[in-house]
Structure 1
Amino acid sequence: MRKSFAVAASLATGIVLSASCLGQDSKPRPPIVTDPVYTKPQQLVDMDHGRRMNLYCRGSGSPTVILDAGMGDSSISWALVQPALAKRTRTCAYDRAGMGFSDAATRPSTAGNIAEDLHALLRAAQISPPYVLVGHSMSGLTVRVFADRYPNDVVGMVLVEGSHEDQSVRGWAIGEPGQQAEWDAYLKDARSCVDDARRGMAKGTPAFAKCVGDDDPRFSQAINEAQQKYAVTPKWQAAAASERESVFYASAQQARATRKDFGAMPIIVLTHAPYPKGKDETQEQRNQRTLLWEDLHTQVAAMSTHGINIIVPRSGHFVQYDRPEIVIDAVDQALAIAKEQHVN
């Protein structure tokens, strides 16, 4: 189920995802995520008048770490990170509206709406602040919007390959013309998956191949089957399409409007680099895109006097799968700083 999101990420700023991050290595490897908790909902929290969102919490302690997955992804994104963090403090992952085992979204999946949903979910589940927010990819925008809207609730942020509000505008300026048109064509194709889901998508059909994709070799067969059951539904396809439509437009604009000074709140950004050259780009274009990605992340880290952008080698876009120890260490750092500030 990762194929379409690889396309999305590569169109963002020309980022090329590694084969290991996409589960496409030439040599078969045993699955690295087998926990059966990801085959079913864990805690379906009634948010408002029967609309439920799936929440998975482990551990105890404060601050609570809140894990938000990337575009089209679910709480399984943190399977290699959450168990270790739960030994230190309470750690909660969740499925956004329409994603995973959560009920369908009732409005566009913009960063603002997602942040509002997350705030309501945590209140309904009685998960009290303070929070350290961890966001991957698209959720790099969401956690910043959340921290801006609910400043008294957040004491730290960790952005794992986080999206930036200017990545499309500046990224499309690098390379051949027509990248925005290519992205818009991709969105149109993604919206057609919603209609395909309403008509029904069976495994082995062209619609399934386009809209769902192959099994993810990182996951057990049982997890892949559970993912495919919700991925063929209109609610999942609609939410996935809405997230794709929002990330470079509405969500980017909402993030652009947030504050740029978070004081001494720890902000740790993880950036995988260097990036391999794509087949449709020159080495100079690749170098420009790599520098752009690092610069955008450094700008986010600079929003705090306790901000840092850490370059992560030997990783793809999914640092939490390729180098989970780096993500765990970054969250530990944010927790330590937040606790020290709270004591003082």
Structure 2
Amino acid sequence: MTLLKWLVVYAVMGWISTAEVKAAEALPEGVRIIKAASAEFQLRSAGLEHKGPAVVLLSGPNEHWHSDSGWFALLQPVLAAKYRTYAIDRLGQGLSSEVNNPSYRRFAEDLAVVLRALNEQEILLLSFASSSVSGLLFAHQNSRLKIQALLLIDPDIPLPGSIALYKGYPADWYKANLAQLLPELKTGVWTDRTAKKLQQERQLVQKLVPADYANQMDWAYFDFMAQQRLRIERQQSRAKEIAAYADDLDAYQALPFYTKRPVSVINSDFEQQQINQNPEQKSQLLAWQQEGDGWSKEQAQRSGGQYIELKDSDHLVLFQQPAVITKAVDWLMALPEK
């Protein structure tokens, strides 16, 4: 067995820490650990030769709540052909530092510190799924930073019906049971089920990547990040972040529409899969879908962005629709300054 495989086994069993993994494991191309304030963040950069605003990639969760920069294993190489790009992992994700209170609210504050450390003052912020919480909080809180635009992909919807749905199961269960769950996770009781989910995710992504983008898909990076998700401390971090999600949503719901710079929204119809699979919740899920469509259109219209609707689309738009996302980024980058 190679050193790398032994490290994965040790990390999964909880026998070595994040710091030991970082010290012993060769990092993927473009990855480095950046120190900002009192923490370390995993950063993957690509396309650094390009001028102009940097594209900052913020990841949110899929159905299994995996929400690290592994989701940009295709999109970042694609965008890096034109733009300087950074994929930044929140505390508790990838090889970023462990923290007792990971949350999207905290990352909105951390992101400002990381960008200062990078000396990046002009950015386009691309947020996937629940990272819209961090992205929009960050945009509202950092008026001095030059933001070219925001691109939200299947964002969380800060309206009452959607918020009520998000705060339900499993988020409410994690919040109620976190104290008992963390020591259970330390025993490895969920490691096998996590491994099965990772296998399902890989099989899904293999189906989603378009044939003409296959040679740009970075499977080595995707698999590296999947290995981090399997580690005990990362399982615990996910539980902590899910437990904090309700408070994230309260802060998010209080935000007005962001109108200082254009906000484009790519809105897939992934909710339809859940509607079909859960007929007993059909009315609530339909209301969620309709509320999301309405908010997304209004946010784009009020800010001068684009509303881009995708039909028959998976939630992992990042793999299935790289051309659509690239075109949306190109459009935002071409906008004049206000």
Give the alignment's TM-score, normalised by structure 2: 0.74
Percent identity over paired residues: 20
In 1: Cα distance, 2:55 partner to 2:143 partner: 15
The equivalent residue for 1:250 is 247
Alignment pair present for 1:159 and 2:156? no
CA distance in 2, matches of 1:62, 1:192: 48
Partner of 1:237: 235
Separation in structure 1 between the aligned mates of residue 164 and residue 233 of structure 2, nearest angstrom: 34
Shift of 1:195: 2.2
Question: Which residue is equivalent to 1:118?
Answer: 111
* Matched residue type, 1:61: K
Offset at residue 164 of structure 1 (A): 2.0
- The corresponding residue for 1:288 is 287
Q: Which residue of 1 aligns with 2:323?
A: 325
Q: Corresponding residue for 2:40?
A: 52
Q: 1:90: which partner in 2?
A: 84
**CA distance, structure 1, for counterparts of residue 157 and residue 111 of structure 2:** 20
Rounded Cα–Cα distance in structure 2 between residues aligned with 1:171 and 1:58: 35
The answer to whether the Cα contact below 8 Å between 2:91 and 2:98 also exists between their aligned partners in 1 is yes
**Once the two structures are superposed, what CA deviation does each residue of 1:240-279 show, in whole Å capped at 9, x if it has no partner?**
12322233x211222233343423x110001112723333
Contact 1:105–1:235 (CA under 8 A) maintained in structure 2: no
Q: State the AA in 1 paired with 2:253.
A: R
**1:77 aligned to which of 71, 77, 85:** 71
Q: Which runs of 5+ in 1 are unaligned?
A: 1-36
Q: How does 1:173-184 map to 2 (within 5 A)?
A: 180=168, 183-184=171-172
Quick one: distance in 2 between partners of 1:75 and 1:172?
25
Report the counterpart of residue 173 of structure 2 in structure 1. 185
TM superposition outliers: structure 1 runs of 4+ over 4 Å? 37-41, 186-193, 219-225, 282-286
| Paired residues of 1:139 and 1:162 also in contact (CA < 8 A) | yes
- Cα distance in 2, alignment partners of residues 326 and 38 from structure 1: 30
Distance 2:222 2:176 in 1: 26
In structure 2, do the counterparts of structure 1 residues 288 and 222 end up closer, same or farther at CA, with 3 Å as the change threshold? same
SS of match in other structure, 2:42: strand
User: Are 2:161 and 1:170 aligned?
Assistant: yes
1:267 aligns to 2:258 (yes or no)? no
**Aligned-partner residue type, residue 332 of structure 2:** A
Judge conservation of contact 2:73–2:221 (CA < 8 Å) in 1: no
What 5-or-longer segments of structure 2 have no aligned partner? 1-25, 207-217
In structure 2, what is the Cα distance between the partners aligned to 1:302 and 1:226?
39
Aligned with 1:316: secondary structure?
Answer: coil
* Residue 191 of structure 2 is aligned to residue 208 of structure 1: yes
Residue 140 of structure 1 aligns to which amino acid in structure 2? S
- Tell whether the 8 Å contact from 1:194 to 1:234 is kept in structure 2 after alignment: no
Task: Go from structure 1 to structure 2 and tell me whether the alpha carbon gap of 1:189 and 1:280 turns closer, same or farther (over 3 Å shift).
Answer: farther
Measured on the aligned residues, the alpha-carbon RMSD in Å equals 3.0
